[in-house]
Amino acid sequence: MSAAPAPPVSEPAWSLSRSAIWLWVTEGIVGTLVYGAIVTVAVLLVPASVGGPVPVLRWLLPVLVGVYAVVAIGIRPWVRYRVHRWEVTAETVHTLTGWLTRTWTLVPVARIQTVDVTRGVLQQLYGLASVAVLTASSQGTVRVPHLEVAVAERVAEDLARRAEQVRDEAT
Amino acid sequence: MTGPGPWPAPTTPVAAPPAPPPPARRTSPLVVLLHTVTFKQARQVVPAAIPVVAAVGIDGPGVVVALVVAVTALSLLFAGLTWWRTTYADTPAAVVVTRGLLARSVRTVPNDRIRGVEVEAPALHRLFGLVRVRIDAAAGVGTDGDEEVVVDGVPRAEGDRLRVSVLTHRRSARPVPPGADPEAPFEEPPEEELARFDPRWLLYAPLVASYLAVPLAAVGALSRLLQELPRDLRPDLDGPELTGGVVAVAVVAGLALLAVGAVLGAAVVNWGFRLVRRGGSLVAVRGLLTRRHTELEVDRVRGGTLAEGLGMRLVRAARVNALVTGLGAANRRGQLFPLGPRPEAVRLLGVLVDDPGPLRPHPPAARRRAVFRAVLSGLVVTAGGAWLSAGTGFWGLLAAGIALTVLGVPLGLGRYAALGHAAGPRSFSVRSGLLVREQAVLQRRAVVGWTVRQTFFQRRAGLATVTACVGAGAGGYAAVDMAAAEVAAFTVAASGPWAAAAGDGAPPAAG
């Protein structure tokens, strides 16, 4: 990547929990195991004598799984951690997510309808939780992934209380 | 899994009933005849009846007559029971509809949730002098979309009374301006006509994909029906000799039929279309066989879209949809201007929402990206074709790839030409789309959030796609590939200073 051009909108300031890196690493390992198992079965069951693209695929697929393992375990978690940012200001909730494709989402506190805290299986392993801030628009949902549980709960509570105070009925 | 239960569910303020509730009313008994004829209720038993019929078998006219009599009697019975068990009442606080043969269901819709009242008169209803009243209500938290309460089959006078009564109650369920009498009967405010149908507009129909689909669907249904007819009932047609002349005539005749079908379909749906503003509502009336009467609250309108299909752009036609909070994009009720000349559509859109000014084109990098994306698949096919022709001498794929690449250029340019955005003092606008070019014009207050997306390549090109999230229509409207440097200024101009999102708070600490 060349020197990153200036971001189109202001960057949120706060990082996720560092445990998020290890959660993403775990996800990468699980994904690699799944793909690896599928490719192993395919290579064992389909003989090279079938012809067509099969001889090529027999070595291409394992290589692809290896590349995936390096990217998903060794690179992506760290890039994601560097990219992901979030911030709650006096008026807005603001996130930046993604790694190759970056998405900023911005929602004013006055338009928040509900705030959800969810904990997936892996998240529970690492003591993490995600906050989802929902608005009247199906596309206007802010998701802050992988915060420490205590932080997530405090943020959700704070947002819900403030949203109730300044709720703008004109959604 | 669920949230911390942030706040108590919003309770609906229901005014204390000042008087004993009005008696429950019944629909007109004539509706029994109507529903007997249309098998409205008896349709549900058809799946159960089929095996019975199959077991008995259809042989001889006696059985057929008995079957017809039985079905009619059954239909009459169901329609009668339904009529007998259905009542409705319009109280000052709510509309209550009670129904159900065995399991009773009581629908109560508080007046302050009622969004509009439609009075419909389908063709058969008109024969009996009846109407159908549709009461639309905003859905509660948690449910999706709209709720609808239908009172089917009341005399026209009663339908109008119900509509006026509901609207009167709805008004008194809201904060009353000082000096106004909340108990004053609902008076129809003066009307202002915004648009009126011109039969010449029907000529646009053959160029609109959705109307062209009408005759095609009819042909499809007809052929399915023919397939399912018993063999001895099927008309025995000899295939005509297929010569060039016959084929040409058939193609021309088919196209002509398609065009006529599209015009007829458009006429059935839109005949006598009229859009008026009556007080705080927009009222649209349309339809040849079924007169549909749609009412939208101006307060809930957040903007509108101007859509022009490829064919419509040739003849400068357009349609307008209103973006109304709580109404999904697929909802036909938002359709304000079904089909007509573009200047008329633009004028109507100006009534819904202020014109934010001329659209600003997107930077040249957006054009490069649009063209590159359009020719990419062609380039891939070309490369594959080159490899193949080098290996085997087969050049068909190579030619197809080159053709695809060349065709991609105008496609990409067309896509780029549609792009644009503008921000005015009270509204903003974004436009995109190749086959259907859609321009959304939205009020500033419509925005409930922003999403800015940059792919790896957009980042390199200094572009970004900005989506305004709206609680109406499709949920979001995007300015595709605008200059990244302009994004912040646009979002602030189109919504408010909060969109700058400058914060200096410290992150919340755990514990």
Contact B274, B193 (CB under 8 A): yes
Both A55 and A33 in one domain: the answer is yes
Place of tokens 């200001």: A89
Q: Does B62 touch chain A (CB under 8 A)?
A: no
ipTM: 0.87
Both A92 and A56 in one domain: the answer is no
Q: Which amino acid is at B224?
A: R
Residue A88 belongs to a domain: yes
Both A132 and A156 in one domain: the answer is yes
Contact B75, B42 (CB under 8 A): yes
Q: What is the pLDDT of residue B241?
A: 63
The band of B2, judged by pLDDT with boundaries at 50, 70 and 90, is very low
Both A153 and A96 in one domain: the answer is yes
N-to-C CA span, chain B: 20
Both A144 and A97 in one domain: the answer is yes
Q: How many domains does chain A have?
A: 2
3-state secondary structure of B185: coil
Both A49 and A70 in one domain: the answer is yes
What are the extents of the domains in chain B? 30-175+182-187, 192-225+253-299+313-352, 356-362+419-500, 367-409
pLDDT tens digits for range B121-138: 877 888 888 888 888 776
The band of B244, judged by pLDDT with boundaries at 50, 70 and 90, is confident
**The domain boundary residue, chosen from A82, A107, A137:** A82
**The domain boundary residue, chosen from A32, A65, A82:** A82
Residue A102 belongs to a domain: yes
Both A23 and A65 in one domain: the answer is yes
Both A117 and A90 in one domain: the answer is yes
Distance from CA of B16 to the nearest CA of A (A): 24
- If one counts every other C-beta atom within 10 angstroms of the C-beta of residue B82, the result is 19
Return the closest-CA partner of residue B427 out of B310, B305, B317: B305
Domain with A117 in it: 84-166
pLDDT at position B67 over 90: no
Both A90 and A154 in one domain: the answer is yes
pLDDT tens digits for range B340-387: 899 999 999 988 888 888 999 999 999 999 999 999 999 999 998 888
Provide the H-helix boundaries in B86-138.
Answer: 123-127
B282 sits in which H/E element: strand B281-286
Mean pLDDT of chain A: 87
The band of B475, judged by pLDDT with boundaries at 50, 70 and 90, is confident
Both A70 and A89 in one domain: the answer is no
Task: Test A114 with B3 for CB contact under 8 angstroms.
Answer: yes
Provide the H-helix boundaries in B100-234.
Answer: 123-127, 156-172, 209-228
Q: What is the pLDDT of residue B328?
A: 57
Mean pLDDT of chain B: 79
Name which residue leads in pLDDT, B503 or B52. B52
Sheet containing strand B281-286, strands side by side: B191-196, B274-278, B281-286, B292-297
b/e map A86-122, b = 16+ CB within 10 Å = bbbbebbbbbbbbbeebbbbbbbbbbbbbbbbeeeee
Average pLDDT over residues B486-498: 88
pLDDT at position A132 over 70: yes
**The domain boundary residue, chosen from A82, A100, A123:** A82
Residue A2 belongs to a domain: no
Q: A93-102, B220-229, B499-508: which range is least confident on average?
A: B499-508
Q: Does B450 touch chain A (CB under 8 A)?
A: yes
Average pLDDT over residues B186-210: 79
Average pLDDT over residues B69-87: 85
Phi, psi torsion values for A100, nearest 5 degrees: -85, -50
What does the DSSP assignment read for chain A?
--SPPPPSSPPP-B---THHHHHHHHHHHHHHHHHHHHHHHHHHHS-GGG-TTHHHHHHHHHHHHHHHHIIIIIIHHHHHHHH-EEEE-SSEEEEEE-SSSEEEEEEEGGG--EEEEE--HHHHHHTEEEEEEE-SSTT--EEEEEEEHHHHHHHHHHHHHHHHHH--S--
What does the DSSP assignment read for B435-447?
SEEEEEEEEGGGE
Q: What is the dihedral of CA B486, B489, B494, B499, to 10 degrees?
A: 120
Contact B401, B385 (CB under 8 A): yes
Contact B108, B79 (CB under 8 A): no
Percentage of residues of chain A with pLDDT beyond 90: 46
How many Å apart are CA A111 and CA B138, to the nearest integer?
18
How many Å apart are CA B254 and CA B122, to the nearest integer?
31
Q: What is the pLDDT of residue A2?
A: 40
Distance from CA of A37 to the nearest CA of B (A): 31
Distance from CA of A32 to the nearest CA of B (A): 24
Contact B265, B202 (CB under 8 A): no
Name residues 467-506 of chain B within 8 A of A (Cβ).
Answer: 467, 469-471, 474-476, 484-485, 487-488, 491, 496, 498-505
Average pLDDT over residues B492-508: 73
The band of B411, judged by pLDDT with boundaries at 50, 70 and 90, is very high
Show the tokens assigned to B434. Answer: 């190749």
Contact B472, B303 (CB under 8 A): yes
pLDDT at position B426 over 80: yes
Both A97 and A116 in one domain: the answer is yes
The domain that contains A122 carries what CATH number? 2.30.29
Name the closest residue on chain A to residue B505, using Cα atoms.
Answer: A89
DSSP class of B239? P
Q: A35-39, B57-61, B267-271: which range is least confident on average?
A: B57-61
Q: What is the pLDDT of residue B413?
A: 93
Residue A116 belongs to a domain: yes
How many Å apart are CA B31 and CA B78, to the nearest integer?
12
Both A78 and A88 in one domain: the answer is no
Q: What is the pLDDT of residue B143?
A: 44
Q: What is the pLDDT of residue B362?
A: 93
Percentage of residues of chain A with pLDDT beyond 70: 92
- Nearest by CB to residue B476, choosing from A6, A106, A139, is A139
Which pTM value belongs to this model? Answer: 0.73
Sheet containing strand A128-134, strands side by side: A114-118, A128-134, A142-148
Q: A135-144, B66-75, B362-371: which range is least confident on average?
A: B66-75
Q: What is the pLDDT of residue A3?
A: 41
Instruction: Return the CATH fold of B30-175+182-187.
Output: PH-domain like (2.30.29)
Residue A13 belongs to a domain: no
pLDDT at position B7 over 80: no
Name the closest residue on chain A to residue B510, using Cα atoms.
Answer: A151
Name which residue leads in pLDDT, B232 or B299. B299
The band of A66, judged by pLDDT with boundaries at 50, 70 and 90, is very high
> In terms of residues, how long is chain B?
511
Q: Which amino acid is at B381?
A: V
Name which residue leads in pLDDT, A41 or B82. A41
Q: What is the pLDDT of residue A1?
A: 38
Q: Does B47 touch chain A (CB under 8 A)?
A: no
